[in-house]
Structure 1
Amino acid sequence: MKRIILGTSLFSVFAFATVSCSNDDDTNSFHLIELNNLPTEAQKFVDRYFSGVEIEKIEKHSPAKVDGTMYEVDFINRDEVDFDQNGTWLKVEAEGNRPIPTGFILPSIVFYVKTNYPSLEINQIEKKYDGFEVELTNDLDLVFNSNGEFIRVKL
């Protein structure tokens, strides 16, 4: 009897896990779109800060990812920009230890990095609910509040 109950329990757990996994795939779908199908603000951002960099693909997520990403632009050089549904950037990152453009980053953040880490550049920035996380070209992570004031080094 114990074997039957144990067997039934294990089957139930396996079946539940299988169904749960298949549902996750359905809720995180995306399709490829063209640049002109991005929100205007995202199109302007790509044109201004990534002019001349060839786009590999643009994904539109439906629904948005947990972090709010609705659009993901991947470039041939392995840079990536994530946008929300309105076309506001959420995350910008470069592959490896290359710097990203900084014209869209709060001047106080750029100034802090140039002053305190003059031999390094910003490799990635991500908006968080309470500020920004910045990664430098040596993989050091810095945390700033929403006003661009330095908070701490992220460990």
Structure 2
Amino acid sequence: MKRSIRMMLVALSSIVLCSATACADNDKPIDVSNLPAKAQTTLTTHFNKQKVVLATIEAGIVNKSYDVVLQNGTKLEFDKKGNLTEVDCKQGTVPANLIPQPIQSYLQATYPGQSVKKIEIDRNEHEVKLTNGLDITFNKHFKVIDID
């Protein structure tokens, strides 16, 4: 009985150790040409004047993502297909054509004169951070669901 309990503990410890290793941060630098085509197009279309300082790939157990840092400090994240998931502008603002039109219309009507410093995009929500520090979350139908 004691032996089987010991064996189960050893097996459980091994599983936990392997899982922790698999979840460890595994960003690997890559060349910009190794980014998905859609991500490369976004960079050349909207950020052509900025040099890419670092591009990395993060390959997890289930999914893969790409991070790009530009010379002016702007950080971009892309999913495995090259779809933009986040833009964080340290200096300047997010290019207007990366912000969905319904969000632009809402911001122009409700917060005139404010620009978007950061946008996070996922399947169900869009979160924008304005230059005045306000965070606004929109649902997938572009209705405001939270303001911080």
Whether 2:143 is the aligned partner of 1:146: answer: no
Q: Is the 8 A contact 1:108 1:148 kept in 2?
A: yes
TM-score using structure 1 length = 0.76
Q: TM-score, normalised by structure 2?
A: 0.80
Q: Distance in 2 between matches of 1:138 and 1:69?
A: 33
Runs of 4+ in 1 over 3 A off after TM superposition: 23-26
CA shift at 1:129, angstroms?
Answer: 4.2
Distance verdict in 2 for CA 1:75–1:63, change over 3 Å: same
The answer to whether 1:115 aligns with 2:109 is yes
1:83 aligns with 2:78: yes
Aligned to 1:50: 47
Cα distance change, pair 140–24 in 1 and its aligned pair in 2 (3 A): farther
3-state SS, counterpart of residue 43 of structure 2: helix
8 Å contact from structure 2 (residues 23, 60) kept in 1: no
CA distance in 2, matches of 1:147, 1:121: 21
Give % identity.
26
**Which amino acid counterpart does residue 24 of structure 2 have in structure 1?**
T
Task: Give how far 1:149 is off.
Answer: 2.3
- Tell me, what secondary structure is at the counterpart of 1:110? helix
Counterpart in the other structure of 2:10: none
CA distance, structure 2, for counterparts of residue 95 and residue 24 of structure 1: 32
* CA displacement 1:82-131 (0-9 Å, x = unmatched): 000000011111015x3111202210001111111112101111023421
Aligned residue pairs total 133
**Secondary structure of 1:70's aligned partner:** strand
Deviation at 1:25, TM superposition (A): 8.0
Secondary structure at the counterpart of residue 27 of structure 1? coil
| CA distance in 2: counterparts of 1:57 and 1:141, whole angstroms | 27
Gaps of 5+ in 2: 1-12
C-alpha distance in structure 2 between counterparts of 1:57 and 1:31, whole Å: 10
Deviation of 1:69 after TM superposition, in Å, equals 6.1
